[in-house]
């Protein structure tokens, strides 16, 4: 049996931009991607703490150290700069493997989007 579990999470990060005139996706600072074990083009699920929106998209690598969190394309209509969001990715794995798996979770400072030490 396989189960779907949380693989990666960026917990409570601040949206810095919303760019409607882009093809789609979420641009994430590469430091945050590394901390949460996310890769470019990976599917992610977004939860907006400010308005309750929930949607999925894919990751685009943002400039390392920039703190950028930019929702692009149609997803830009679901957020406003300054909103606090949670970004999650899931993985399918064997039930027994899933019992031992530990997700990569990043906790950024919501003012700067830099990783907390």
Cα–Cα distance, 49 to 84 (Å, whole number):
6
Question: Is 25 an annotated catalytic residue?
Answer: yes
Q: Please pick, among 22, 58, 66, 90, the residue that the annotation labels catalytic.
A: 58
* Sequence-distant (≥ 6) Cβ neighbours of residue 41 within 8 angstroms: 58, 59, 60
Give catalytic residue positions. Answer: 25, 58
């Amino acid at each position: 049996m396989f189960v779907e579990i949380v693989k990666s999470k960026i917990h409570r990060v601040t949206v810095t931009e919303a760019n409607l005139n882009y093809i789609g996706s979420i641009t994430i600072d590469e430091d945050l991607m590394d901390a949460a074990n996310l890769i470019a083009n990976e599917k992610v699920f977004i939860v907006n703490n400010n308005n309750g929106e929930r949607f999925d998209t894919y990751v685009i690598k943002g400039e390392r150290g920039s703190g950028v969190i930019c929702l692009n394309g149609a997803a830009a209509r679901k957020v406003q700069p300054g909103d606090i969001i949670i970004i999650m990715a899931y993985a399918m794995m064997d039930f027994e493997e899933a019992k031992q798996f530990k997700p990569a979770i990043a906790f950024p400072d919501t003012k700067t989007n830099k990783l907390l030490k």
